[in-house]
Amino acid sequence: MQAKDAFFIGGAWVPASDRDPLAVIDPSTEQQVSSVPAGTAEDVDAAVVAARAAFEPWAATPVSERAALLAAAADAIEARTDEIALLISTEMGTPLSFSKAVQVGNPVRVLRTYAALLADYAFEEQIANSLVVKEPIGVVGAITPWNYPLHQVVAKVAAALAAGCTVVLKPSEVAPLSAFALAEVFEQVGLPAGVFNLVTGLGPVVGEAIASHPDVDMVSFTGSTAAGKRVMAVGAETVKKVSLELGGKSAFVVLDDADLGKAVKVGLANCFINAGQTCTAWTRMLVPATRYDETLELITAAAAKYPVGAPTDEGTRVGPLANANQYQKVVAFIEQAVADGATVVVGGPERPEGLDKGFYVRPTVLGDVAPGSRVEQEEVFGPVLAVIPYDTEDEAVAIANGTLYGLSGGVFSGDQERAVAIARRMRTGMVDVNGGRFNPLAPFGGYKQSGNGRELGEYGLEEFLEVKSLQL
């Protein structure tokens, strides 16, 4: 893969100055496959200047034209599905089939939902003698993670552009290549110069410059809770709006009347998807104590259907973790959990058999996990599931709500109304009931230290709008 040596600023590819580039590593081989420029505060400033100059004309662009450009971008990405999916599988390790269906498929769907939403969205309304107008907030700084490198970018950028904002994007330096493909797509479909700008680099340099820039009106950040706190603190210096989508430690509550086999199948799939590198992953399975042993037997059988291997191998369901730091962190979590008294039901800290190179870990299920222990409280961000017994529904809800996070969760029951009643008691931004499917029009975001603000659909659009009232 060709090394990248330029930023996309003001509608042009601007050569990076002579600096040490950032290596892009294939996590399945631990070999460098590309590199991207290491940006500076000066590069961010140039991008913000371009975005500011483009803001007023873009905000004044008819909604129908903005929608048409988003739809064209969706078509252009879809036409390059195989190419972009391979980029993502190479830069962060997700299996190729998953990259095609989700890592590329979801961004296409999100772009199309915003193009369609604009056709009917009311940007103004009359309230008594006031005309209430919703206007784009301005220049948006978007800072995105490596686990869903194109989807997380598009979830922010599509909404911001639909609202009439301009964008300066810093993708994760771990998996930045698909962001360059998106810039190429916007250039191809004729997005006006300066509306979308791309600067790669390190968080403490480029991210800080975006969050602190006085001419950036809003920052939308997805990443760890620790980094989100830093973005919020830096953004507070200029009192800019900060929207955060952070970590999770989501609970999957299996009620005593559930189809246990189906619940285990759905729960494992949710935990192990993308090698567990999903902020919404259900990493705590809460099961009735009377069905605990049965659950572990079913999990042992079901987990055997998650072969670990190279992203390009057809049979692979779990690829490598995205980088060396994540690999070391996940292995350390498993080892600490065992030291704290947990038992390994499936997997463990050892490397998968036959995979001596690459950041591969065994999909792991832990039993005898105590509520309040580290592995039950903290986000692992790997394919590690803690199975926890409970005696009463109230206890299950208390355990589910007993962490600093509140991003996602699930409930399984033979009675839909009963499941919904438990879901309503969970202090979390999203709950899937009996395996409810992902909906790109529904709001995505969390409670507590999982962040603030929402992405996707109408709620995601409104994050990028200011509200003005005209008294007539």
The radius of gyration of the chain from alpha carbons, rounded to an integer in Å, stands at 22
Point out the catalytic residue in the list 91, 173, 245, 463. Answer: 245
Q: How far is CA 96 from CA 134, 228, 311, 363, in A?
A: 41, 30, 6, 18
- The Cα 42–Cα 44 span in angstroms is 5
Close Cβ partners of 306 (under 8 Å, ≥ 6 residues apart)? 268, 272, 317, 318, 363, 383
Instruction: Determine the straight-line distance between the first and last CA of the chain, rounded to whole angstroms.
Output: 59
CB 303 within 8 A of CB 347: yes
Tokens matching residue 55? 């803001």
Q: Is 245 a catalytic residue?
A: yes
Nearest CA to 175 out of 135, 206, 145, 216 is that of 145
CB 265 within 8 A of CB 302: yes
- The Cα 318–Cα 73 span in angstroms is 30
Point out the catalytic residue in the list 208, 271, 279, 463. Answer: 279
Angle at 274 between CA 359 and CA 220, to 5 degrees: 105
- The Cα 235–Cα 441 span in angstroms is 28
CB 288 within 8 A of CB 389: yes
Tokens matching residue 301? 């059988």
Catalytic residues: 245, 279
